[in-house]
């Protein structure tokens, strides 16, 4: 049971990538995976390189197992207790222990000999290189540090390349408040060889203008035959800051996240993918979603209302001040007019008396 658990950990360390360098603890393996064509009855050879990064000698052992898909994650699943069959039975690796000195890199030959009646299509296996530990109290042999290489073989003959988009969706629902937006593509392989679907997601806003594109399966991960694999793609701009748990602080953290990853309104994401080596497989799908950055909207609406209230207050007080000023000016003008009239009449009479003759003045 310890062997099974130990190898499963190794499987998770390996992953299912086409390009990354596999490393577990202090043993580095190059390459992490090999993809090749097989012709029934003809031998295929490859070389695995192991590098010891520790300051002590490492002794590793080789073991071969078949693998298949584990759910829709793309992580390989190993039947560790099943007898050797299929591709794992065609692989030859020297079983004796390999001693690797500190800082040393060794090359281990791997041979594959498919029989003449090998079934056309995809065949999959993994070669593990592990450092076995001492037996435990129960007499079980434990597995120590280790790495593994994935072998993806395609036997020539009547191969079938077939697949389609099973589902295309927005991972967190159709109503969101900001980027990043997670898109999920579920691709079903109905053929007998693995496929590597790749493509683009084109995103358009409510006015039909293209705002961004997102790659699908940029690492070129494989979907094995008779399985469904989920590929996730993210539309994002800047890194999201984590919330702290405080309602007030979290509101402003989310406000900043929405402002830096702003999107507003209805969007349409259109998926286009292609797969197949000998047969062209093309698929399209689309999904719509809404983005409402309610933290940003709330803050700016409140700021807008405050500006409007201040403007109303200013206009109201300005009008009062203006009316008061006009009234004061009118009152001052009226008072001046009333004070000038008597003076003007007296002055006119004095002027007339000076200009009239003396006999007219007596009258």
Write out pLDDT tens, residues 297-307: 888 889 999 99
Question: What is the domain partition of the chain in residue ranges?
Answer: 2-155, 163-292
Helices and strands (H and E) in the chain: how many: 5, 19
Which range, of 9-13, 128-132, 171-175, 321-325, averages the lowest pLDDT? 9-13
Starting at the edge strand found earlier in the chain, the sheet holding 181-189 runs: 163-170, 181-189, 227-235
Q: Which CATH number fits domain 163-292: 1.20.1250.20, 1.10.287.130, 3.40.190.10, 2.60.40.10?
A: 2.60.40.10
The reply to whether 163-292 shares the fold of 2-155 is yes
Give the confidence band of 120 by pLDDT, cuts at 50, 70, 90. Answer: very high
Mean pLDDT of 341-345: 50
Residue of 150, 126, 268 whose CA lies nearest to 203: 268
User: What per-residue confidence (pLDDT) applies to 85?
Assistant: 86
3-state class (DSSP) for residue 256: helix
308 pLDDT tier (thresholds 50, 70, 90): very high
Least confident of 77-81, 139-143, 157-161, 328-332: 139-143
61, β-bridge pairs: 130
Q: Is 72 helix (H, G, I), strand (E, B) or coil?
A: coil
Domain 2-155 class, CATH top level: mainly beta
More confident: 47 or 172: 47
Task: Check residue 216 and give its pLDDT.
Answer: 97
18 pLDDT exceeds 50?
no
Judged against a pLDDT cut of 70, whether residue 217 lies above it is answered with: yes
The mean per-residue pLDDT over the stretch 310-314 comes to 93
Distance in Å from the first CA to the final CA of the chain: 148
Q: What is the mean pLDDT of residues 271-296?
A: 93
pLDDT at position 156: 94
Q: How confident is the model at residue 254 (pLDDT cuts 50, 70, 90)?
A: confident
Cα 245 from Cα 240, distance rounded (Å): 15
- Is 255 strand, coil or helix? helix
Instruction: Name the residue with higher pLDDT: 254 or 47.
Output: 47
* pLDDT given for residue 110 in this prediction: 94
pLDDT score recorded for residue 21: 36
Query: Would you state the pLDDT for residue 220?
Result: 93
Rg over CA atoms, the chain:
42
Note the pLDDT of residue 167: 96
pTM: 0.73
**What value does the mean pLDDT take over residues 321-333?**
84
For 144-191, how does the pLDDT look when each residue is reduced to its tens digit (9 = 90+)? 556 889 999 999 999 999 999 999 999 777 778 888 899 999 999 999
| pLDDT, position 136 | 40
Lowest mean pLDDT: which of 43-47, 262-266, 279-283? 262-266
Q: What is the pLDDT of residue 119?
A: 95
| Residues 22-51, mean pLDDT to the nearest whole number | 85
Q: Please compute the mean of the pLDDT values over residues 288-316 and round it to a whole number.
A: 90
User: Which class for 131: exposed (0-12), middle (13-18), buried (19 or more C-beta within 10 A)?
Assistant: buried
pLDDT band at 19 (very low <50, low <70, confident <90, very high): very low
Lowest mean pLDDT among 186-190, 245-249, 337-341: 337-341
Contact (Cβ atoms closer than 8 angstroms) between residue 267 and residue 203: yes
Alpha helices in 57-96 (DSSP H): 87-90
User: What backbone torsions phi and psi does residue 312 show, to the nearest 5 degrees?
Assistant: -65, -45
pLDDT: which is higher, 9 or 213: 213
Residue 105: φ, ψ to 5°? -120, 125
Instruction: Report the pLDDT value the prediction gives residue 357, as an integer from 0 to 100.
Output: 56
How far are the Cα atoms of 156, 179, 198 from residue 134, in angstroms, in the given order? 43, 51, 45
Rounded Cα distance between 51 and 30, Å, is: 8
Specify the pLDDT at position 262. 86
Edge to edge, what strands does the sheet with 198-204 contain?
175-176, 281-291, 265-275, 198-204, 210-216
Q: Over range 200-215, report the average pLDDT.
A: 96
- Please report the pLDDT score of residue 76 as a whole number: 85
The gap from C-alpha 193 to its chain's centroid, in whole angstroms, comes to: 28
Comparing 8-22, 203-217, 311-325, the range with the smallest average pLDDT is: 8-22
């Amino acid at each position: 049971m310890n062997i099974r658990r130990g190898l499963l950990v190794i499987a998770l360390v390996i992953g299912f990538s086409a390009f990354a360098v596999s490393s577990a603890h202090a043993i580095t393996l190059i390459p992490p995976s090999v993809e090749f064509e097989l012709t029934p009855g003809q031998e295929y050879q490859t070389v695995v390189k192991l590098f010891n990064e520790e300051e002590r000698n490492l002794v590793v052992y080789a073991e071969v197992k078949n693998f298949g898909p584990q759910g829709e994650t793309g992580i390989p699943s190993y039947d560790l207790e099943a007898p050797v069959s299929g591709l794992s039975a065609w692989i030859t690796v020297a079983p004796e222990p390999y001693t690797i000195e500190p800082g040393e890199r060794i090359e281990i030959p791997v041979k594959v000999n498919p029989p003449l009646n090998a079934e056309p299509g995809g065949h999959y296996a993994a070669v593990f290189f592990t450092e076995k530990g001492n037996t435990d109290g129960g007499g079980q042999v434990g597995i120590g540090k280790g790495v593994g290489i994935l072998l993806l073989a395609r036997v020539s003959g009547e191969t079938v390349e077939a697949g389609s988009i099973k589902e295309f969706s927005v991972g967190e629902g159709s109503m969101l408040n900001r980027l990043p937006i997670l898109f999920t593509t579920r691709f079903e392989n109905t053929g007998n060889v693995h496929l590597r679907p790749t493509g683009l997601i084109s995103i358009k806003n409510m006015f039909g203008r293209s705002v961004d594109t997102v790659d699908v399966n940029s690492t070129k991960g494989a979907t094995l035959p008779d399985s469904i694999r989920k590929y996730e793609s993210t539309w994002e701009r800047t890194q999201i800051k984590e919330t702290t748990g405080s309602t007030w602080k979290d509101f402003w953290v989310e406000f900043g996240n929405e402002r830096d990853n702003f999107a507003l309104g209805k969007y349409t994401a259109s998926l286009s993918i292609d797969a197949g080596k000998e047969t062209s497989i093309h698929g399209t799908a689309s999904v719509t979603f809404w983005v409402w950055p309610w933290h940003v909207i709330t803050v700016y609406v409140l700021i807008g209302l405050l500006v409007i209230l201040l403007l109303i207050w200013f206009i109201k007080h300005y009008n009062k001040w203006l009316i008061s000023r006009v009234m004061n000016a009118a009152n001052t003008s009226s008072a001046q007019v009333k004070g000038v009239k008597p003076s003007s009449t007296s002055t006119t009479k004095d002027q007339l008396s000076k200009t009239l003759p003396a006999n007219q003045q007596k009258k």
